Amino acid sequence: MPIAIKMPALSPTMEEGTLSKWLVKVGDSVSAGDIMAEIETDKATMEFEAVDEGVIAHIQVAEGTEGVKVGTVIATLAEEGEDAGSVAPAGGSSETAKPESAEPVGSEAEAKAQPLSSSSEEKSSPSTSSGQSETKVAPATGGDRIIASPLAKRIAEQKGIDLAGVKGSGPNGRIVKADVQGAQPGAAAAPAAASAPAPTPAPAPAQAQDFGIPHEVEKLSNMRKTIARRLTESKQQVPHIYLTVDIRLDALLKLRGELNAALEPQGVKLSVNDLLIKALGKSLEVVPACNVQFAGDSMLKFSRADIAVAVSIPGGLITPIVTDAGSKAVSKISTEMKDLATRAKDGKLMPEEYQGGTASLSNMGMFGIKQFEAVINPPQGMIMAIGAGEARPYVVDGALQIASVMSATGSFDHRAIDGADGAQLMKVFKEMIEAPLGLVA
């Protein structure tokens, strides 16, 4: 019986994507684990992995096609022993979809992630209204059904993971490779976090007008569309409160020089940003009232500070995450951040390396920006904006001197974080930078 290969949901919020590239063609044989295609989401170009064995009988969505809805049949697989030439296309379509745009589908600004499972579903069941056939899933104990890819099952067996306790992120809750790689043996599924109410749809933007001015039209990438949508929602839905402090950097710069001299044999060179990531992580531990997320009629209070660090890449912005930044050594943060930033710019981050985080840090000091107010990255509750360190007149011990000073501005979600709590975080952040030995204690 032919198997329908469907467009998968590669993230919890994905509704559509771009089929960037087919890595197989009609007539090719595939086995479980083979990479079939590359699919572009809002932040990544992800490899699409086969979960069944067979021969590609039809490709129903051509590479380069944009806006392919999750669940759309993109190809048909003939099972082993079937004549691929006589297999009808699954989903009732006999034509290959044409790309919406003749422009090449680039990997610009997109991160290439680990393989994910294809979306073949239950086999040989009565047709639904859409006429799509589905593949069988494995039965679970206790009369329930566990929907998991063969690769995920194999990894779970090797690691001793009970799939009944793993929440699937694939189509229809299918457990895929990414779900079991981070799971602990015997781990139970975490309860779903309360989500904020759906935002009110944004009003349609004003019609663009060129007024006869010479110009060219550049089609938005999925990344740019997502940035536009999410930040518009943030400014419309999240009441921002901004708090700014001036911070003297001389002690931090002196400590950085001493640490770099000591760490030179290890090949580690700390940046100021590495120390700021550590300072924000520790500050959130000291002021846990700011390490939160608003979730409708509830609030998430995090016991760990995962700092998402804004990294500019061609065509957009991505925020790789330093997990548990408050507890990590600054040398470890430095090593991790260099690796994350390099792979972000090369488009090689895995989804779990840029999705999540409890707070963000954005540093524009290298551009000479004195101060700015960053937009909160929802659903996070705050973001710290860092300006340039510069020589300024500054009162030290009651006397006016020249000191290295930077301005830091915290943007806080006022639904979850009171102004007094935000002010306390800014105070602690300032104190940790001006007396930085605590960062290496």
405: tokens are: 């000073």
Higher per-residue pLDDT: 224 or 180: 224
Most confident of 110-114, 137-141, 282-286, 316-320: 282-286
Residue 241 sits in the same domain as residue 357? yes
pLDDT of residue 274 exceeding 60: yes
pLDDT of residue 223 exceeding 60: yes
Domain that holds residue 177: 137-186
How much of the chain exceeds pLDDT 70, in percent? 78
Residue 19 domain flag: yes
User: Given 128, 145, 173, which residue is the final one in a domain?
Assistant: 128
Residue 32 domain flag: yes
User: Given 104, 128, 152, which residue is the final one in a domain?
Assistant: 128
Query: What digits encode the pLDDT tens for the residues 85-125?
Result: 677 787 654 444 444 433 333 333 333 333 344 443 333 33
* H helix or E strand, kind and range, residue 229: helix 222-237
- Residue 320 sits at φ, ψ, to 5 deg, of -60, 150
Q: What is the pLDDT of the chain when averaged over all its residues?
A: 81
Among the residue ranges 4-8, 52-56, 137-141, the one predicted with the least confidence is: 137-141
* H helix or E strand, kind and range, residue 283: helix 272-286
Among the residue ranges 53-57, 133-137, 187-191, the one predicted with the least confidence is: 133-137
At residue 137, the pLDDT reads 37
Residue 222 domain flag: no
Residue 143 sits in the same domain as residue 124? no
29: tokens are: 């044989």
Residue 423 domain flag: yes
Closest CA to 356 of 395, 402, 322: 322
| Residue 406: pLDDT band with limits 50, 70, 90 | very high
At residue 238, the pLDDT reads 96
At residue 203, the pLDDT reads 58
Residue 393 sits in the same domain as residue 435? yes
CATH code (residue 172): 4.10.320.10
311: tokens are: 């990294």
Query: What digits encode the pLDDT tens for the residues 27-36?
Result: 888 888 888 8
Residue 213 domain flag: no
CA dist 379 and 233 (Å) reads: 10
Q: Which residues are catalytic?
A: 414
pLDDT of residue 129 exceeding 60: no
How much of the chain exceeds pLDDT 90, in percent? 43
User: Given 111, 128, 145, which residue is the final one in a domain?
Assistant: 128
Sorted by sequence, the CB contacts under 8 Å of residue 81 that are 6+ apart come out as none
Mean pLDDT within 212-224: 85
Residue 42 sits in the same domain as residue 69? yes
Residue 281 domain flag: yes
In the chain, the number of structural domains is 3
At residue 101, the pLDDT reads 39
Residue 382 sits in the same domain as residue 259? yes
CA of 17: how far to CAs of 20, 49, 96, in Å?
A: 9, 16, 17
| Residue 168: pLDDT band with limits 50, 70, 90 | confident
Query: What digits encode the pLDDT tens for the residues 327-382?
Result: 999 999 999 999 999 998 887 888 889 988 999 999 999 999 999 999 999 999 99
Residue 349 sits in the same domain as residue 424? yes
